[in-house]
Amino acid sequence: MIAVVLCLAVMGALQLLTPFWWWIMIVPFVFGAAGAGSGRKAFWTGFIAAGLLWLGAGLFFMLSGSRIIAGRMAGMFGLGSGWLMVPVTALVAALAGAIAGYAGHAARGLFKRSR
Amino acid sequence: MKTVRAVVSLLLAGLIFWALDNRHGTFPALGRLLDPFSGFWRNGEGVDRIPEKLVVPGLREEVRIVWDDRRVPHIFAANDRDLYLAQGWVAASLRLWQMEFQALYTAGRISEVVGPIGLRQDIFNRRFGLVWGAENAQRAMRQDTETREAIEAFTAGVNAYIRSLGRKRLPVEYKIFDYRPEPWTELKCALLLKAMSYTLASGNRDAAMTAARDALGEETVDRLFPFFPPLVEPVIPPGTVFEREGSAPPAGGGGAAGTDGTAGRRREMAASRGLAPSIPPADGCPEPPALFSSGFLPGPGVGSNNWAVSGKRTRSGFPILCNDMHLELALPAIWYEVQLAAPGVNVRGVAFPSAPTVIAGYNQDVAWGFTNAGSDVLDWYAVTFKDDARDEYLYGGEWRKTTVREETIKVRGGRPVVDRVIHTHHGPIVRWPDEPPFPGMSVPAGAALRWLAHDASNEFATLYALNRARNYEDYAEALASWDCPAQNIVFADGEGTIAISHNGKFPLRRKGQGRYILDGSDPSDDWPGWVPHEHVPAVKDPERGFVGSANQLYAGPGYPYYLGWDYAPFERGARINEILASMSDITPEDMVRMQADVVDIRARAVLPRLLSLIEGRPMSGTETACYESLRAWDFEALAGSAAPAVFSELWSALNRLTWDDEKKGDMGRMPWPASEILVDLVLNDPGSEFFDDRTTPERETLADIAEGAFRAAAAGLEKAHGPLGPAWHWGQVKGTRLGHLGRIPGFGREGLETDGAGHVVNAIDRAWAPSWRMVVELGPEVRAWGNYPGGQSGHPGSRRYDDFVDDWAAGRAYELVFLKSADEPHPAVAARTVMRGKR
């Protein structure tokens, strides 16, 4: 739980300060490599933290003036409603964060054994 | 095992990273695009917030912008430079992506954005000489102090805006196509003029007409495509006296009287030298459709209306000027509205986002507007090369050297392509015999292009002066520097003058010269000079009390120069004249209604005759229903009526059955004559040989063709739309749509059901339509109304992206806010911005 909150806060801050999307992979990766007790924990921490961050941010913008553009993007992707862009956004982040977290943990495993 | 798992998961994570961080074909980089912190989510209505204060580097004094409730900026500056710098900033803030995309498209650089699928279009635009022409125009713009300053300042304003943008605030199309804006340049302003010229002054049927002449003979072509067609009412009213003094055409050139059978003479000359150039036949296959739109594509829908009525006919006693310019529908819209004020100028109207000044509009004293002139300023010359090296060509009995312009086209995700464009003194060779057709234009293979838009000219000087014009003399003087694209420029002023000029730079021609592919080796086929500007067809304050144009023939046989042959058919021009001649006590509201007039005078002319010919014939249920709907029709092209759809099909079928069998030899498609030719035959010559179907032994007449066309129309509609019902309604059958410039699905407006048709005054067709409607009443208090299909903002996430569309489709116009000063209190003022050069 603390790990999720910590990851989420760090990712959110870095995303606000820089224009890069990939903090949602880097931060879980680092967490997985440095602090996660297990691959499963690394996976789910990345999944929940990245997913929640983009879900929350997507919802925030959806409710604060981005409904028109979300509707147009949904049209571009062939989806029926702009609201669907929120779960799509969250899911992409969650999967990217999860895989990155798991890969971080696995990478640490490699490193440990080689030492 | 652990190692394998680790390696696999690392590879998977890397793959996902790569997949989300890169474009794949046309599929966007999903990670960057969906990122709520800097992706598309940031392109919401936040863009509609108006800042109270802005720092715009480069401004010398304070600039004040008043925004009205339709998001129109009213820019008040202390000097010209600040004015155009602020205009550049504002235009970019509303329309940056559109500006750059149109410039890249015109410059033949679209492959840099979309990859190899743009290559064919890029090669075409380079070969066609759009960049070459823009470079020449830029030099001309820089030679004039005023236009140089305007273009420089505008460019600085756009660049100041671009520099202020971080990734998060980039327009969403940049995020979707995944690229960044580059600095704006003066060349891009010049490219806009070339895009306009391409839309409005590149139309030509030289290849098809040459093939038709070779197959059918010149006499038949002259009958079907006459220089003075029936029913057409020229722009310059009959009875106008033309100045003839000094108009003697040069030896061998000019003059409507020069009916010297030029084509035959030319072929003889070439044959006598044993060097007849092989004039290529027109391509039998249609050109592939264009992939993207620049918003500036030439097409059958290019047309426009303008007129001005004198104070004698208006309720106020002052002139009223009206203009609606028909262009390809697109979002973001091609125009935006703006008011520009500085010492010496206060002008209101519409502008193109990519250039300074107001293009069509009004000020306190005058109003002006445009329709396309359509006179011939583009010729193809068949070229005889010495050998395959193509470095020498025949001209005047000698071999001349070609020159080469190397064009390097960068291709996203591929190697750059270098194209060697070969130029003769006429101009570039656009397509070689071994190349496939280009999108959108039938280009004769191996022919050199002579096009006026390649020549240096400075149309911004005209616009700069019109923005500041006070009276007729200022207007007349301003027009002298407008070369291309030639326009019917209508004018009215507060002193009561109305005028129209078929204005541009026109080559001196023998009658008919340039209708067919010319002989590039014969010096007498070159353009020997120009129609003097004081002799262009023009009229001021005609007796009838109105002037107007709808892209039709410029003048009747009394005019001493030949300018071209391929003009708009008779309907819109004749209808405008008919309405205006019948009106008095005219109000601006009458004029707004007139711009939405949907009476189809083609149908009104022919339908009674056609229906009488099929009356009493045995009919199926659908045919009977079609017949009844046509019989009950009042000739209004309304969205909710089936009759316009039936007539549209009937007219197509009538053309098909009348003309397609005339084709002979290897001429490809039979070019259809203008509508007035068929209308004239239907009314006056029902036994014409053209109605005979040459594929049957019997001799058919109009009665047979009309019946066949009627049955074909009913069957075609039934097949496409089922039994006669709401699906047959004109609005649905026509299906007006505003496509996005970059062809992004979901970013346009589909399926608008609109009144109107291409050949009625309210010329809303499927993809072509009035792009700006304006009505201006001159007088002590100028009042104006207008609307366009779109919205002020080019941001698809903005509330202002397409908010005018429904009112526009319904023919409603807004009263335009025109402020005398930045401080003027006005109920429509929504916000104010103060711009300063430094904090």
Q: Contact, B289 vs B440, CB < 8 A?
A: yes
pLDDT band for position B241 (50/70/90)? confident
pLDDT at residue number B302: 60
Identify the pLDDT of residue B429: 97
B263: nearest Cα among B377, B375, B382, B378: B382
Q: Does B10 touch chain A (CB under 8 A)?
A: yes
What tokens does B719 get?
């097949």
Query: What is the reported pLDDT for B3?
Result: 85
CB contact under 8 A, A60 and B5: no
Residue B796, min C-alpha distance to chain A (Å): 6
The answer to whether the CB of B322 falls within 8 A of the CB of B590 is no
Instruction: With CA atoms as reference, report the closest residue to B419 among B33, B17, B207, B108.
Output: B108
Digit-coded pLDDT (tens) for B334-349: 999 999 999 999 999 9
B42-50 average pLDDT score: 94
Of A25, A69, A107, the CB nearest to B43: A69
Q: Which candidate in A24, A61, A79 is best for mutational testing of the B interface (most B CBs within 10 A)?
A: A61
Stretch among A69-83, B274-288, B479-493, B515-529 having the lowest mean pLDDT:
B274-288
CB–CB contact B16 A100 (8 Å): yes
What Å distances lie between residue B131 and B103, B107, B405, CA to CA?
Answer: 10, 5, 11
B252 has a pLDDT exceeding 80: no
Please tell me the distance in Å from B8's CA to the nearest CA on chain A: 8
Cβ of residue B13 closer than 8 Å to a chain A Cβ: yes
Give the pLDDT band of residue B714 (cuts 50, 70, 90). very high
Best mutation target, B35, B38, B795, B799, to test chain A (most A CBs within 10 A)? B35
The interaxial angle of helices B675-684 and B601-614, nearest 10 deg, is 40
pLDDT classification of B99: cutoffs 50, 70, 90 = very high
Helix (H) or strand (E) holding A62: helix A39-63
Q: Which residues in chain A have their CB less than 8 angstroms from residue B34's CB?
A: 21, 54, 85, 88-89, 92-93
Angle at which helix B601-614 crosses helix B643-659, to 10 degrees, equals 70
DSSP 8-state assignment for residue B436 = P
Residue whose structure tokens are 């060779």: B429
Of B121, B276, B285, B236, which Cα lies nearest the Cα of B743? B121
**What is the count of residue pairs from A and B with beta carbons less than 8 Å apart?**
130
Angle at B755 between CA B750 and CA B761, to 5 degrees: 120
Contact across the interface for A54 and B798, Cβ inside 8 Å: no
φ/ψ of B492, rounded to 5, equals -150, 150
* CA B498/CA B436 separation, integer angstroms: 49
Contact A102 B9 (CB under 8 A): yes
Task: List all residues of chain B from 34 to 53 with a beta carbon under 8 Å from chain A.
Answer: 34-46
Contact B45 A66 (CB under 8 A): yes
pLDDT at A112 over 90: no
Per-residue pLDDT at A113: 54
pLDDT at B294: 54
Count CB-CB contacts under 10 A for residue B120.
18
Q: What is the pLDDT of residue B683?
A: 97
Considering only CB atoms, which chain B residues are within 8 Å of A8? none
Task: Give 3-state DSSP helix, strand, coil % of chain A, rounded to 5.
Answer: 85, 0, 15
So what's the pLDDT on residue B266? Answer: 37
Tens-digit pLDDT profile for residues B473-518? 999 999 999 999 999 999 999 999 999 999 999 999 999 999 999 9
Environment class of residue B364 by beta-carbon count within 10 Å: exposed (0-12), middle (13-18) or buried (19+)? middle
Residues of chain B with Cβ-Cβ distance to A28 below 8 Å are none
- Residue A59 above 60 pLDDT? yes
Cβ neighbours around B60 below 10 Å, total: 13
Residue of chain B with shortest Cα separation from A52: B36
Residues 11-70 of A with CB under 8 A from B: 15-16, 19-22, 25, 29, 54, 57-58, 60-62, 64-70
Interface contact B446, partner A, CB < 8 A: no
Q: B744 in contact with A at a CB cutoff of 8 Å? A: yes
* DSSP annotation string for B743-802: --TTSSEEEE-----TTSSS---SSEEEEEEEEEE-SSS-EEEEE-SS-S---TTSTTSS
Looking at residue B166, its pLDDT comes to 87
Instruction: State residue A108's pLDDT score.
Output: 86
Q: Residue holding tokens 């391509």?
A: B283
| Span B777-811, pLDDT tens digits | 999 999 999 999 999 999 999 999 999 999 999 99
B796 interfacial to chain A (CB closer than 8 Å) = yes
Please give the structure tokens belonging to residue A51. Answer: 């997913």
Question: Is A19 in Cβ contact with B167 (below 8 Å)?
Answer: yes
Q: Give the C-alpha separation, B791 to B335, whole Å.
A: 9
Q: Give A-chain residues touching B17 at CB under 8 angstroms.
A: 22, 25, 96, 100
**A76 near B CB under 8 A:** yes
**Confidence grade of residue B256 (pLDDT, cut at 50, 70, 90):** very low
Mutate to test the interface with B, among A69, A85, A86, A108 (most CBs of B within 10 A): A69
Looking at chain B, the whole-number percentage of residues with pLDDT higher than 90 is: 86
- More confident: B529 or B259: B529
Give the tokens for residue B317: 């006693």
- Residues 6+ positions from A5 with CB-CB distance below 8 Å: none
Q: What is the mean pLDDT of chain B?
A: 92
Give A54→chain B minimum CA distance, Å: 6
DSSP B429: B
Taking CA atoms, B721 is separated from B621, B635, B729, B732, in Å, by 15, 22, 10, 10
Residue B4, min C-alpha distance to chain A (Å)? 10
Q: Which residues fall within 8 angstroms of residue B102, CB to CB, at 6 or more apart? A: B191, B192, B195, B294, B295, B296, B354, B741
Question: pLDDT band for position B292 (50/70/90)?
Answer: low
Instruction: Determine, for residues A67 and B43 on separate chains, whether the beta-carbon distance falls below 8 Å.
Output: no
CA distances from B135 to B24, B192, B421, B428 (A): 35, 12, 16, 15
The token duo for B79 is 């000097």
pTM of the model: 0.93
pLDDT in tens, A36-47: 788 899 999 999
Q: Strands B518-519 and B378-382: what pairing?
A: parallel
- pLDDT on residue B758: 92
- Tell me if residue B175 falls in helix, strand or coil: helix
Q: Which two tokens stand for residue B97?
A: 């992506």
Q: Does the pLDDT at position B267 exceed 60? A: no
Pick from A76, A88, A107: which is nearest to B10 by CB?
A107
- Residue B246: the pLDDT is 44
Mark yes or no for CB contact B20/A60 under 8 Å: no
Name every chain A residue with its beta carbon within 8 A of the beta carbon of B750.
Answer: none
pLDDT in tens, B410-462: 999 899 999 999 999 999 999 999 999 887 778 999 999 999 999 999 999 99
- Fill in the DSSP letter of residue B181: P
pLDDT digits (tens, 9 = 90+) for B653-684: 999 999 999 988 888 888 899 999 999 999 99
Report the residue from A21, A69, A109 with minimal CB separation from B35.
Answer: A21
Nearest CA to CA, how far is B20 from chain A (Å)? 9
For position B272, what pLDDT does the model report? 34
**Is the pLDDT assigned to residue B247 strictly greater than 90?**
no
Of the candidate ranges A62-71, B253-262, B397-406, the one whose mean pLDDT is the lowest = B253-262
Length of chain A in terms of residues written? 115
